Amino acid sequence: MKNIILALFAVITLISCGSKAGLSSKQEVVTNTKWILADNVSGSKVPTLNIETKRISGNGGCNNFFAEAMVNASNGTFVIGNVGATKMACNDLKTEQNFFNLLEQANKYAVKDGFLELYKDNLLLLRFKK
């Protein structure tokens, strides 16, 4: 399990190193869209993200989650409140918790080449595909 967690952080770090320093402020509208994590390194179920008008939901790899959200295409902001989730017992809860923590840190988004990228300032946190 430690190897999975280390691999997840290694992938995130590598992706972050390749991210561009400046993000365009105006972004594609992403409300009413469904995404799956593009860089899933765990052997568990692939995390998903459903973006609605004022909330997000999905699956973290084991548990379903939900949160209030502010997603604004005019300035590229992506801010969510506290993530709530079901409490099923799974083998890889630490990786799922890391996924939830990264979601909560995101404050910007960009859609590039069909991928949804979530950032904390200019640091790439998560990358999803439709």
Query: Residue 96: which CATH number?
Result: 2.40.128.270
The chain-wide mean pLDDT, for the chain, equals 84
Three-state DSSP string of 53-84:
CCEEEEECCCCEEEEEEEEECCCCEEEECCCE
Higher pLDDT: 43 or 17? It is 43
Q: pLDDT tens digit string along 64-116?
A: 999 999 999 999 999 999 889 999 988 878 889 999 999 999 999 999 999 99
DSSP 8-class letter at 107:
-
Work out how many domains the chain is built from and give that number: 1
Domain of 20, in residue numbers: 2-129
Residue 4: exposure state from Cβ atoms within 10 A (0-12, 13-18, ≥19): middle
